[in-house]
Each structure stands twice: as C-alpha cells, then as structure tokens.
Chains A and B, each alone.
Chain A
Amino acid sequence: MSNLPHIAKMQIAKFPEVSALVVTDDAGSLLESSGDIDGEALGAVHVVTMQALSRCGNALGLGPLQRLTVTGARRACLIAVYDQEVLGVYIDPTKPIGAFEKKLETALRR
C-alpha cells in the first residue's frame, strides 16, 4: 500500500477522534506524521513493539501480526502493518477503539 502516507495525511488524520498519527517503513524511518508528536521517536517505538510482538506470534503459531491496540486512561493507540509500512494512530481514549478500527479498515480499503 504505497499510498498509505497520503491516505493517512488526507483522510485518517482528519477523523475527529484522531489526535496524532505516524507512518513509518518497517525499519522505523519516518514517512508521514501529523499532530503534536515526535514522529521519528514514536515511529521507532512502534516498529520495535511490532517486532517484539511478531516474535510472540511466531513462537505461538498465531501467524503474522496485523495490528495491535493499546488502551489506557489517558490515550489509546492503534498500530497496524500494511505491507512494508507501519501506521500508528492515537485516538481519544473515550471513543470506542473497536468502532475506530472498523472506520480505519474502511478508509484503507477504498
């Protein structure tokens, strides 16, 4: 999905529940970011987290890692792998993350 940075900037960043987003390649190099964040640092953390969880999936025979969600009192985050790119989206934690996942899937399927 080579146009992920474009879709992220033009569509996903404009969703009302999105406070920030980062797109990196699978080595952690920044491709796109939006919002009040350090995209380079966060993108690297996203990739390292995905790598560690991929090792879990490999050991457990769960197949390839597709996405992860992290929730807490102050923020919620969704990190997803699309081909060779990693998208990290920060959303309002009071909004249901399941509904946002569906919305995101629809946006990326267009």
Chain B
Amino acid sequence: MLEPILQGLREVDGVQGAMIVDHSAAVIAHRSHAIYDLAILQQVARSVVNSVDSVQLIQDDWDLLTAHYGEGKLLLRSLRTTGSKPRRYILAVIADASLNVAFLGVALRVAAGKLVAELEAGPPAPSPMGTNTGSLAIPVAIASGSTGRAVPPPEPPRPELAKTGLSWSGVSSGSGIGSSDVSVADNASSAFLSGCTKALAASIGPMAKVFVKEAVRKVCGERVFSRADGPALLSHLAASIDDPDDRATFQRATRSL
C-alpha cells in the first residue's frame, strides 16, 4: 500500500502533498491537500517527467532534485526498482515555505525505501486520470504524439539556439560533465552538424544540439562523424520527430546541406 507511506510524508510540517509518478507521467498514488486535485497533480506530473527527462541528459544518476520557489518547494526523489524488470518512478513532494528541508530529508529516505519495496512487489495501476503523456522517455523522442497520448505536449522552447553560432570542434576526451564528445572529421562535417542543429532548433528549440549529439552517437558510435554519415544522421533525426509538419519542415531545411 503506497498511500499510507505518502500519508507519512504529509505529516511532516510544511508538506502539502506527495505523489508517485511513473515514466509515462501517470500518477500512481497521491495524498495531498484538497486544493491539489488529481487533475492538477496530473498536469504537474507531466511537467515533472519533462524536467526529469532533461535532468537525466546531464545527470543520469540523479537522486534528489529540489526546486525552490518564491512560496514553496517541490522535491523530486528518484525511485528505482531492481529485479528482472527494473523500473523508474518519481516521488514528488509539494511543500510550502515553512518546510524544514532537513527534516523532510530524513522522512524522504525512510519513505523512499518503503516505496521501492512496495513497487518491487508489483507495479500498481495508475490513478483513474493517469494517462500517458508527451514525456521524453527516450532522449531522442523529440516530439510527442506517436503513442496515442491523450494530452498535447508542452509548448516547445523558443528556437534561440539557432542564433548562437554552434561549433562542433569538440574532439575532447569525453570526460567531465556534458563534455563535447562528438568528434568531427573536418570543417565540412562540423558545418553539416551545425546546419542540422539549426534546422532542428526551429522545431524543438535549445535542446536541438543535445538531440543531434545523441543521434550522432547512435549513428557513429565511437567513430568520428564525417560528411558521409550525413544521410544516416538526417534519417535518424527525421524518424525521431513525431509531428509530420515538424518532420517535413526539418527535411526541407536540411535538403540543401
């Protein structure tokens, strides 16, 4: 039973609600103040999964994310089950400004252990409104909509990255946080990647470079990217764009590369 564990978190001073969200943004269980009904929690769950998908691009072993707002806090704790079918869930705790984060930290650790044990015993059914949504479960799932998702994706970020003069000169060791570990064979290959990124940024905004890098790694593996890999890369990127209009725009924009 997940709810009693969430209720335990609710008893910490300042905590206004707690919920468990799965990778598809379905609310698995929740206990919250009456003002946070399931519709609101479902809306929040989608943004929670989107934010976690982004964070995982830079820190796949994240354990705790604490967001500080003007009038409260939102804490996200990663819950990973083990066994033959490992699954990931997110425990989200909503708190007002009176929360003592240190106190909650202790309660969170205890609750997380119990929740993982419960979740490992068997995946619970989502709450009635819990539906799959436009989450980026796979980093290169660029746009949503291909899985019959009921809720439209959030507005894409503004495509400002296209103006930043991208460079792909990175031939670093690949160590360090988010290192530029895409190696290119020559200037033409670098220009090609910049063109791809700009074209993609028109659809998805500043995350374009991240997705292009992911795609290069998938197409080339450890190999240096060269212009000859261009068609495969374009095909891979285009296949990752679910929205047909966005895909067509991307293909038009990259035709001259």
Q: Which residues of B contact A52 (CB under 8 A)?
A: 47-48, 50-51, 54, 154
A residues 30-72 touching B (CB-CB < 8 Å): 30, 35-38, 40-45, 47-49, 51-53, 55-57, 59-72
**Interface residue? A109 (CB, 8 A):** no
* Interface 1/0 per residue, B68-104 and A, CB below 8 Å: 1111111000000000000000000010000001000
CA distance A70 to B75 in the complex (A): 10
Decide if B206 touches A49 in the complex (CB within 8 Å). Answer: no
Q: Chain A nearest CB: distance from B159 CB in Å?
A: 9
Decide if B54 touches A62 in the complex (CB within 8 Å). Answer: no
CA distance A42 to B179 in the complex (A): 9
CA distance A49 to B178 in the complex (A): 15
Q: Which residues of B contact A57 (CB under 8 A)?
A: 67, 69, 72, 74
CA distance A37 to B176 in the complex (A): 6
Decide if B54 touches A49 in the complex (CB within 8 Å). Answer: yes
Q: Which residues of A contact B64 (CB under 8 A)?
A: 69-72
* Interface 1/0 per residue, B31-72 and A, CB below 8 Å: 000011000100110011011001101110111111111111
Decide if A37 touches B177 in the complex (CB within 8 Å). Answer: yes
Given contacts A52-B47, A62-B69, contact A20 B209 (CB under 8 A): no
A-B contacts counted at CB < 8 A amount to 165
Interface of B is mostly: mixed
Interface size on A, residues (CB 8 A): 46
**Interface residue? A102 (CB, 8 A):** no
Give the contacting residue for A77; candidates B58, B158, B207; CB below 8 A. Answer: B58
Decide if A63 touches B206 in the complex (CB within 8 Å). Answer: no
CA distance A75 to B178 in the complex (A): 12
Q: Which residues of B contact A110 (CB under 8 A)?
A: none
CA distance A38 to B168 in the complex (A): 10
Decide if A71 touches B176 in the complex (CB within 8 Å). Answer: no
A36 — nearest CB in chain B belongs to which residue?
B176
B residues 148-205 touching A (CB-CB < 8 Å): 154, 157-158, 160-161, 163-164, 166, 170, 172, 175-180, 205
CA distance A74 to B213 in the complex (A): 22
Q: Which residues of A contact B213 (CB under 8 A)?
A: 38, 41
Decide if A65 touches B67 in the complex (CB within 8 Å). Answer: yes
Decide if A44 touches B177 in the complex (CB within 8 Å). Answer: no
B42 — nearest CB in chain A belongs to which residue?
A59
Decide if A62 touches B205 in the complex (CB within 8 Å). Answer: no
B155 — nearest CB in chain A belongs to which residue?
A51
B197 — nearest CB in chain A belongs to which residue?
A40
Decide if A51 touches B157 in the complex (CB within 8 Å). Answer: yes
**Interface residue? A27 (CB, 8 A):** yes
Q: Which residues of A contact B51 (CB under 8 A)?
A: 49, 52-53, 56
Contacts beyond the supplied A25-B160, A42-B177, A74-B59: 7 A-B pairs with Cβ under 8 Å: A20-B176, A40-B166, A44-B205, A44-B210, A52-B47, A55-B50, A65-B67
> Could you jot down 5 A-B contacts, CB within 8 Å?
A29-B164, A44-B208, A67-B68, A69-B66, A70-B64
Closest 7 CB pairs of A and B: A63-B70, A28-B206, A36-B176, A27-B160, A44-B206, A52-B51, A62-B69
